[in-house]
Structures are given as C-alpha cells and as structure tokens.
Amino acid sequence: MFEVFKKELRELLRDKKTLLFVVALPVFIFPVIFGVLGYFMAQAHLSAEQEVHSYSIIGEEYATGFSESVFYHKNFNLNKDIKTNTKEELEKAVKNELIDLGIYIESKPIIDGKTKSIIKIEVVFNNSSRVNYITEKINKIFSDYKVLIQYKNLKELGITKHQEQDFVLSPIELELIDSSNARESFGEKIGVLLPYLLIPIVLTGASYPAIDLGAGEKERGTLETLLLTPITRTQLVMGKFITILTASLATSLITVLSLGSWMYIAKQFISISFITDAIELIGTVDLILILLLLIPLACIFSSLVLAISIYAKTFKEAQNYMGPLSMLTFFPLAISMMPNMELNVKTSLIPIVNISLAIRELLKGTVEYNHVYLIIGSTSIIAIISILFCVKWFNKEEVLFR
C-alpha cells in the first residue's frame, strides 16, 4: 500500500496540471482573484459615494432649509431643464431617467391653517442599483433639518431654554453597549466566509488527483497493469485513497498559509491591523481543531471522488459526474450561513453544516468543545463508512471493467 502511495504521489508531482490545482491555485491565483475583486468593489463604492445626482423639486417653499441643504450638497445638482408640477410628473421623469431623484414637499395645516403645519417630504428615486448611496445622503440631510424644525417649534411653543428643549426632544436615552471583543466581531464576519473558501478547496484538492488516479488510469490502460502486481485490491485502492487525501489536505494547508502570507504582505501597505490583532487572539489549539475538523471531511470527499472516478470510463465522464457533487457541497454551506443557525447537538450531526458552524465558533472563541468532539466523532464515522464503501466498490468487476 505504501509503495502504491509513493508511486502515485510521484506521478502526481510530475503532472503540471496537478501542481496548478494544488499549489498555484491557492498561492497565486486565488489571492489575485480576491485582490482584483476587492479593488473593483472598492472602486465601485467610491464612485457611487462621489456620484453627483441630478434632481428636481416641487414645493421647496414649504421646507426652505431642507431644499437649500440639498441645493448646496456636493452630491446633488438641480436640473433646471426639467419642469415638473405634480408628483406624477416627478415619478415619470425618474422612470425615464431624465433625473436621478425627484423631491415632492407637501405642507399640511393642522391647527389654524396659517402658522402650524406638518411637512411631508417624498423622495422618488430608482433603488435598483446594487451600489447606491442616495438613501444615506438624503437621510442625513433630512435628519439635520428635522432637528432644526424641532427646536424652532419648541421655541414657538414657549420652550426657549436649551435644557428644556433637550428634555422634551430626548426624554429617554438608549445606550447600546457591545460586550463582544475584537475576536468575536472578527470571527462572526470571517467565520462565515472561511468555511465557504476552505471546504470547497478540500473537495477541489481531491477531485483532480482522483480523476487522474481512477478514470485516468482506465483511459491510459495502466489499471490492468496495476491489478497484475502482487498486491491486493484493498491495498491498491487504499494507496490511491491516501494519495488523494494528501493532495486534498496539502491544498487546504497551502491555501491557509497563502492567505496568512498575503495578509502579512498587505499589512505592510494598507491598514488591516484590526484583522491581524484579532487573528493573534486565536489560540493554537483552535487552529489545530479547525485542521482536525477538515481531516475526516477530506477523507469523505477523497473516498467519494475516488469511487466516482473508478466508476467513470473516461477523464471527461468523471468530470461530468463530479459537477453535481460540488453543487451538493454548496447547499449545506448556504444553510450554515443562515442567521438563525447555531452550533448545538442537533446541528453537530449534519455533515458540512456542522464543520462550517464549528469553524465560525472557533474563530469567535465561543465554541463549546464538546460539540467539536461530537463533530469529529460523527464525521469520522461517516468517513470510515465512505472508505469501506470505496474499497468494496473498487473490488467489483462490473465497476472496474464497465
């Protein structure tokens, strides 16, 4: 079995495609993809924040302070070419993209129709854009204007002292005290993304070597030669399985080390100290536990992809069979990202969901270690069953020579 492992590993290392998937992908290609993606996202948000929106306004005389604030705001430009008299015309102008937003101000008398009135401001805009800061900008202007009107109304009602005005406007104060530390905050955010990156990579790291060692051997006609060697079929399949498992774990480990290295390099140029400080709070035991969680999962993936590859007649057929397996992996990952999902005894028994939740809790430092041991135990049992199935599958003549 060990001789088979050495032989298969040597052949994989000689294969340039394998090195591309195992080494180049996590070390160079993924960081470049994420870096480019982050750059374009940052540029899109910066552009949206600096964008100047054309607008038209009706009823500005009812809220002169508000209309002046919008007029002098750097991100709004009054379109004097568009003439509108009703709210419907404003909506039509926005819909036809003649202006970015229309402001309709209406004054409704509530006491005697002369001095006291409430002001209703309606803002019409298209919010279908993915990056849009119109709401934030208008809300800021509206909030400032609302405070001015509140103080003005209090003065007219005879409440002139600043302390009395504050007492009326803010009779109750609500103070939210966040008890989470930097690690919990960081773990909650990155703990959602890290399993989404790591778990598919465990599968990807196993898939390509499995295709080569199963369907690839069939296509090249070398499988029959291996079967004639004086080793049992169980030793042969276990040698291939250990090779695939090694490639899968190596890909995951290289990915984590690559992310750490690139983060260290990025720290020299941009301010990400809050991330690195939070990472430093994560203990070695927790990092080892994350690795231990991935090992039985890698065993499951390795045995499954090897079984699929052995069944397939050709390289291409094996690739077609493994496509749905990738989709099945993302389904439990999506479930684990739901807001109400927590790690407990029940979720500890659901494959992939349990590992995703456990990684998040470990990064946050709020994990119950009994749940982690339960996950390792339950996933290991599934891994043993998967390996036994793969061995039995490999011993079937109708699978090997179909």
Cβ(306)–Cβ(240) below 8 Å = yes
Section 139-161 average pLDDT = 87
Rounded Cα gap, residues 240 and 107, in angstroms: 79
pLDDT of 35 over the 80 cut:
no
Report the candidate in 221, 351, 234, 239 with the shortest Cα–Cα distance to residue 297.
351
Query: Phi and psi dihedrals of 102, rounded to 5?
Result: -120, 135
Which phi and psi (to 5°) does residue 221 adopt? 80, 20
Indicate if the pLDDT at residue 114 is higher than 60. no
In sequence order, which residues have a C-beta less than 8 Å from that of residue 303 and are 6 or more positions away?
Answer: 241, 383, 386, 387, 389, 390
pLDDT tens digits, one per residue of 227-260: 777 888 888 888 889 989 998 888 888 877 777 6
The residue type at 121: I
Q: Which domains does the chain have, with CATH numbers?
A: 1-39+182-401 (no CATH), 53-170 (3.40.190)
Answer yes or no: is pLDDT of 62 > 80. Answer: yes
Confidence of residue 71 (pLDDT cuts 50, 70, 90): very high
Question: pLDDT tens for residues 286-331?
Answer: 778 888 888 999 999 999 999 998 888 887 888 888 878 888 888 8
Strand partners, 109: 117
Higher pLDDT, 155 or 185: 155
> Are the beta carbons of 41 and 87 closer than 8 angstroms?
no
What's residue 299's pLDDT? 92
Q: Is the model's pTM score more than 0.75?
A: no
How crowded is residue 151: how many other Cβ atoms within 10 Å of its Cβ? 16
Distance, in Å, from the CA atom of 183 to the CA atom of 364, rounded to the nearest integer, reads 6
Residues 6+ apart with CB under 8 A from 115: 156
Report helix, strand or coil for 248: helix
For position 168, what pLDDT does the model report? 84
Q: Are 199 and 298 in contact (CB under 8 A)?
A: no
